[in-house]
Each structure stands twice: as structure tokens, then as C-alpha cells.
Amino acid sequence: MNRFFIRPMLIALLLLPHSLPATASEGSCYGYLTELVRSSDFPFRYVGKDKVNLLIDEDDGEVVRAQLFFDTDGTGTIGWIKYTPATRVLLNSSAELEEPVALSFDAKFADGYAKCLAEQQAG
């Protein structure tokens, strides 16, 4: 592949953040969110935290909802989270949608996520 093919392909991929797993190596802010979830006390039972990725279901600017999964022969769904950046509240919404469980996490990733969002909005 030459660089004239790769560049438009990368731009197209960056425009589709909701269809791709969020990882720390992406050019978006979702990598901070992935690390925030990995640092949390979410009950990771079937896989190590380092293997967990996020699939963003919704991001309306106020709330981010995501599916937690790991790669396997199929896709191993672990659960779902809801994160509110303004209040820095991370919820495990897997079991009880009406009463999700608040999770603790490493605040440095919330700081990084907030800073990244501010930089993106600034242009």
C-alpha cells in the first residue's frame, strides 16, 4: 500500500469512532476512557483488565455509554458502563439498569479524558 491510499483510509477510520473499539492507542479521547474503566473496580471475572476494550454505544456530549468486551473466538461481552464526564461518575449498568452501581477509578484518567475533550473542542 502506498501513502496515498493509507492516509484517506486513516481519515475514514477516525470519522467512525462509534463503530470501532476504544483503545488507548487511538487518536481519540476514548483511550483515556478505556484506561479509566480498566483502572476501576468493575468486576472483571473472566479476563484480565488489560484485555478489556470499550465499544461506544452512545456519546451525546453529556453521557458516554459503552459495552465492555474482550476479543475471543467470538466477542466476549463483559458488561456495560455509563460515564458522566461533568460529574466524573462511572457506573456499572450491567445488572441493574434502574440502580447501576457506582465504581471507583484512578482520577488521572478522568483528568486526561477531560483535558483531551477540552483540546478537541478548542480545535
Burial class (CB in 10 A: 0-12, 13-18, 19+), 94: middle
pLDDT tens digits for range 19-73? 344 544 445 899 999 999 999 999 988 788 999 999 999 999 999 999 999 877 6
Q: Please say whether the dihedral angle defined by the alpha carbons of residues 40, 102, 68 and 42, taken in this order, is positive or negative.
A: positive
Candidates 116, 18, 12; CA nearest to 67 is 18
Q: If phi over 0 gives left and psi between -120 and 50 gives alpha, with beta otherwise, what is residue 13?
A: alpha
Residue with cell 455509563: 82
Q: Is the pLDDT of residue 18 over 50?
A: no
pLDDT tens digits for range 3-14? 444 444 444 444
> pTM for the whole thing?
0.75
pLDDT at position 26 is: 42
CA–CA separation, 122 and 25 (whole Å)? 21
